[in-house]
Amino acid sequence: MTKPTLLLAADLPDWTRAELRSLFTVLELPEDADDAASLLARQGSAIRGMALRKTRVDARLLGALPDLEIISSYSAGLDNVDVPAVKARGIVLENTSHVLAEDVANTAIGLALALTRDFINADAFVRSGQWPQRGQYRLGRSISRMRVGIVGLGTIGMTIARRLAAFGSRVAYFGPTRKPVDLPYHDDVVALAADSDLLILTCPLSPATHHLVDARVLDALGPQGFLVNIARGPVVDEQALIAALAADRIAGAALDVFEHEPEVPAALMNDRRLVLTPHIGSATEEARRTMAEHVVDSLARHFGLSSPRAARP
């Protein structure tokens, strides 16, 4: 039987590539734009599936793939995909948000604790030898007694909410629609911020959420409020955040993502009220392997092929 043709537009582990090649005729999308255009002009009409990571999927790329049936993305976010255009074509769109939710939620809670208890500066306090001279370190804040607002109650947001409930936090959320959950809902992000001590961002990046957290939201959160972003950098107006910090209009922030990453403004790097990590929300060996497995399995399932999972090391 002729193997379905797959476009590989993702940097995936070698074992994942081997599995895909055992199931499909794999065409790798060149990084050079002219070479990519040449490949698509010659063979685009044969491609029925796509393994995706960061490549931009827009109307132009979709137009070169007239028989595309499925896109399987090695990611939680789909901000690089023109989702309405994909849906209009009836193309199946898979991502891995459900696969990495546990580890991203753990990252969010870890960042929240590091931020509110000031763990990073406390570590430096001990290592620099200040403890014997200065005595007791300053008090932190307790998330068990905090009102926590979650912006975007999808799979990851709900997983975070369950963890916060175990801590004893009072959780509310904002999103485009009310969810069938027993949590207070705000239809305005400014209102949620005003009712929160800690705001955690988990929403996807879209035109509606670009710079969603702006000066108004930060002012509503207030000088005792904290911000955690494990969503996408441009969800936060970075310059508004820098201005709020400079004016002491916010207590601090923990950021795993940045507006122009990997570039981080010096104003953020030099501010000790911030906890900064290099986009590692889902960066565990276990999560990344399961994500890669999901890419292969979803493609195999769509085409009625046997998954190679039993042969995996």
> Of the candidates 60, 64, 67, 56, which has an alpha carbon nearest to the alpha carbon of residue 89?
67
The catalytic position among 28, 141, 216, 261 is: 261
Domains of the chain: which residue ranges? Answer: 5-76+286-311, 99-276
Q: Which residue has the tokens 């399961």?
A: 290
294 is catalytic: no
Residue 134 pLDDT: 94
**In tens digits, what is the pLDDT along the chain, a chain of 313 residues?**
689 999 999 889 999 999 999 999 999 999 898 999 999 999 999 999 999 988 899 989 999 999 999 999 998 778 889 999 999 999 999 988 788 899 999 999 999 999 999 999 999 999 999 999 999 999 999 999 999 999 999 999 999 999 999 999 999 999 999 999 999 999 999 999 999 999 999 999 999 999 999 999 999 999 999 999 999 999 999 999 999 999 999 999 999 999 999 999 999 999 999 999 999 999 999 999 999 999 999 999 999 998 776 555 5
The catalytic position among 279, 289, 301, 302 is: 279
> Of the candidates 280, 234, 237, 288, which has an alpha carbon nearest to the alpha carbon of residue 256?
280
Cβ neighbours around 142 below 10 Å, total = 14
Return d(Cα 299, Cα 301) in angstroms, integer: 5
Cβ neighbours around 67 below 10 Å, total = 12
Residue 54 pLDDT: 84
Question: Is the distance from CB of 48 to CB of 24 less than 8 angstroms?
Answer: no
With residue 6 as reference, give the H or E element that holds it: strand 5-9
Return d(Cα 96, Cα 261) in angstroms, integer: 22
89 is catalytic: no
286 is catalytic: no
Cα 169 to Cα 117, 183, 283, 302, distances in angstroms: 15, 12, 26, 41
Q: Matching CATH topology for 5-76+286-311 and 99-276?
A: yes
For the domain made up of 5-76+286-311, give the CATH fold.
Rossmann fold (3.40.50)
Residue 16 pLDDT: 92
Residue 214 pLDDT: 98
Question: Is the distance from CB of 188 to CB of 174 less than 8 angstroms?
Answer: yes
Does this model's pTM top 0.75? Answer: yes
Pairing state of beta strands 47-52 and 70-73? parallel
Return d(Cα 273, Cα 286) in angstroms, integer: 31
Residue 29 pLDDT: 93
Domain spanning 99-276: which superfamily?
NAD(P)-binding Rossmann-like Domain (3.40.50.720)
Question: Is the distance from CB of 119 to CB of 252 less than 8 angstroms?
Answer: no
Residue 313 pLDDT: 54
The catalytic position among 48, 186, 232, 294 is: 232
Return d(Cα 48, Cα 199) in angstroms, integer: 42
Residue 1 pLDDT: 66
> Of the candidates 92, 55, 97, which has an alpha carbon nearest to the alpha carbon of residue 75?
97
